[in-house]
Structure 1
Amino acid sequence: MKIRILGSAAGGGFPQWNCNCFNCSGVRAGSIRATARTQSSIAVSENGIDWVLINASPDILRQLASAPELQPARAIRDSGICAVLLMDAQIDHVTGLLMLRERSSPLPLYATEQVFADISTGLPIAKVLSHYCGVERHLIAPDGEPFVIAPLGQIRFMPLTLSSKAPPYSPHRNDPHPGDNIGLAMVSITSGKSVFYAPGLGSLSPSVLAAMESADVLLVDGTFWTEDEMITLCLSKKPASEMGHLPQSGPGGMIEVLDRMPASRKILIHINNSNPILREDSPERALLTQHGIEVAADGMEIQL
C-alpha cells in the first residue's frame, strides 16, 4: 500500500490567504523556518498507477500538478484517480470535486448517507456534477463492514464513526449524526500492514482507540496545539473542542494519546495555520520529535 500526502494543512491552507498571524506572515516573508502547505487530502494506491483520492481539497489541481505519479498518461485524457472517498462534508474536503468534472464517465464517489445529503442539498456539489461527468454513488455505512474499491482489490477500507461536527452549512451542525465524520482504517491484504487516518478527531471512542492501537501507521488530527489557541491569537472565539478537534498538548491531548500507541510511525496532519508546530525550530516541534511524532508535509510518502 502506498500513500501520498497531497495536502497537510487545515482549512484555508498555510499561509491562509487573509491571515497575518506570526506563522502566516512569517512564511510569506521567509522570516521563519516553515514550509507552505495545501489543504488536507491523501491518495492511496497498491500499484502506483490507480489511486483512491481521500477527500477532495479546493487545492486539488495544485496538488495533482505536484504529484506526477497520479497522471499515468495512458490516453489523451487520463487520470490515476479511480475513485474519491469523502470522510466528511467540510468545504475544505469536498469542493475539489468540482475540479474533477471533466471526466468522461461518472465519478465513483464513496461517502456516508449524511455526507451525500449535505453535498446534495446545503452545498449541492453532487447536483452540479450531474451536469458534467455525473456521480456514481457508493454508500458507506459508518462502523459497517470492510470494503474494497476497484481496482484496488488488495486494500481493505474500514470506516469508523467519529465524534465530531458536521460542517457549518449542514442543517444538523449542532445535532451530530453518525456518519457526519468518519475515521478510516486501511489494511493492505498483501502485507497485513495498516494505517488509521483521521484528519478531524474531536474525542476518542473505544472503537477509535482500538483502531489506533492496532495500526502500524497513525495519520491523525494535528489541527491545534492548545485548546484555546484560536482564542489566544484573537482568530476565533471558539476553543478547539467546540470546533471538533483534540489539541496536541495538555492532559488527554494527542501527544498523551499517541504515547500509548505502538504504531511505528505517528504523524499529525490537518495542521492549522496558527499551530506553532509548523515552525521547524519551535519548542513545540522539538517536543513532538522527543515523543517520536512527525508533522505531515505535502508530498510526504508512506509505504506499507
Structure 2
Amino acid sequence: MMKILVLGSAAGGGFPQWNCNCPNCAGIREGGIQARARTQSSIAVSSDGIDWVLINASPDILYQLRANPALQPGRSVRDTGIRAVMLMDAQIDHVTGLLMLREGQPLPLYCTASVWNDLSHSLPLAKVLSHYCGLLWHPLPAHGNAHAPCVRIPGFDNIGFTPLSLKSKAPPYSPHRDQPQADDNIGLLIEDRSTGKKIFYAPGLAEIEPHIDQAMRMADCVMVDGTLWADDEMIRLGLSGKTASQMGHLPQSGPDGMIAALDALGSRRKILIHINNSNPILNEKSEEAAILESHGIELAFDGMEISL
C-alpha cells in the first residue's frame, strides 16, 4: 500500500507568516479564529513506511522531520528515511530545505533540466552543496501525456512517478520567469504499481490543460493548488499588486476556478494544498470553508496521512 504523508500544507511563508498581520495571521496569533498553523508545502511518499521519497524540500524541513518520526527510522548512528528528493519546480519555498539536509550522504535529486539549471546558476544550491553532501542529479522529463512512461527510483520498485508539464510560473530569479519553458513546473501522477491506485499532485497549477485533466481523471486522489480563494485576493488585502493568475495559481472561486474543475471530476478524493496565509478557507468557520466542504473538497493539513 502506498503511503503519502503531508509534511507541510501552506504556501511560501507558512501560516501564520512571520511578518503578516492579515485577518488570518492576526486571527490565529490572537486566538480569534479557528485554524491550524501550517508549514510550507511538501509531501513524502513510501511503499513500506520506512524509506521515503521527499517531494519538494521546504525551508521548514527540519521542523517537519521532527514532527514526523516515520522519516527518522533510527537504524544507525546517522540515519534518515529520505532515500531521494524530487522537485516540482525551483521555487525558493520548495528547494531551500536541501541546505538543511547537507550533513547526510550524497543526495539523489530528481528534477527537470530547467530546475537543475536554476539550482546550478540562478539559485546555486548545487554549488553550495557540492562542499557538503553533494547532489546526484537524475533528469526528469516533462511529459504532455498522462500515459507516458513512469520514472522508477531505485529502492521503490512498487511506485511509479509520471512527471507532467504544467502551466505555472518559474521563480523570479529564473531566466524563464517571463519566457516559460515546458519543464519549469511539473505535476506528478504517482502510482502504486502493485494496486494500480494513483494520486495526482500539483501544488502550483495555473491552468488545467487537457493532459492535466486526463491525469486528474486517472487518479483516485487529486491533491492540487489551493493557494488563493479569489483572483484579486492579494490585491484587495494590500499584500501584493498581482492577481493569482499572474502569480501562476488558479484561484478556487469563479466559474472557471479550481472548485469548478474539481466538481467535474466526480466522486474521487479531492484535496487542496499549498494554501496561502491570506486564503479565507484557513478559517475553519468561514463561509469559504463551508463552501469547500459542501463540494466535498478537503483541505490538507500538516501531518495528514493518505493511504492508497
Normalising by structure 1, what TM-score? Answer: 0.99
Unaligned runs of 5+ in 2: none
The Cα offsets for residues 130-178 of structure 1, whole Å up to 9 and x where unpaired, read as 0001111100010163111121110000000011111001112100001
Normalising by structure 2, what TM-score? Answer: 0.97
Structure 1 partner of 2:155: 151
CA distance in 1, matches of 2:217, 2:52: 26
Aligned counterparts, 1:118-137, within 5 A = 118-137=118-137
Classify the secondary structure of the residue corresponding to 2:276: coil
Q: Is the 8 Å Cα contact of residues 217 and 263 (structure 1) preserved in structure 2?
A: no
Q: Is the 8 Å Cα contact of residues 182 and 198 (structure 1) preserved in structure 2?
A: yes
What's the C-alpha RMSD, in Å, of the aligned pairs?
0.7
CA distance in 1, matches of 2:154, 2:20: 41
How many correspondences in the alignment?
Answer: 303
Aligned counterparts, 1:118-267, within 5 A = 118-143=118-143, 145-267=149-271
In structure 2, what residue type is equivalent to 1:173? R
Residue 214 of structure 1 deviates from its aligned partner by 1.0
Q: Is the 8 Å Cα contact of residues 110 and 137 (structure 1) preserved in structure 2?
A: yes
CA distance in 1, matches of 2:302, 2:99: 21
Structure 1 partner of 2:107: 107
Residue 251 of structure 1 deviates from its aligned partner by 1.2
User: Which aligned segments of 4 or more residues in structure 1 are displaced greater than 4 angstroms?
Assistant: none
Residue 227 of structure 1 deviates from its aligned partner by 0.4
In structure 2, what residue type is equivalent to 1:260? A
Structure 1 partner of 2:297: 293
The answer to whether 1:66 aligns with 2:70 is no
What percent identity do the matched residue pairs reach?
64
Residue 263 of structure 1 deviates from its aligned partner by 5.0
Classify the secondary structure of the residue corresponding to 2:28: helix
CA distance in 2, matches of 1:36, 1:62: 13
Unaligned runs of 5+ in 1: none
Classify the secondary structure of the residue corresponding to 1:185: strand
Q: Is the 8 Å Cα contact of residues 141 and 179 (structure 1) preserved in structure 2?
A: yes
Structure 2 partner of 1:6: 7
In structure 2, what residue type is equivalent to 1:262? G
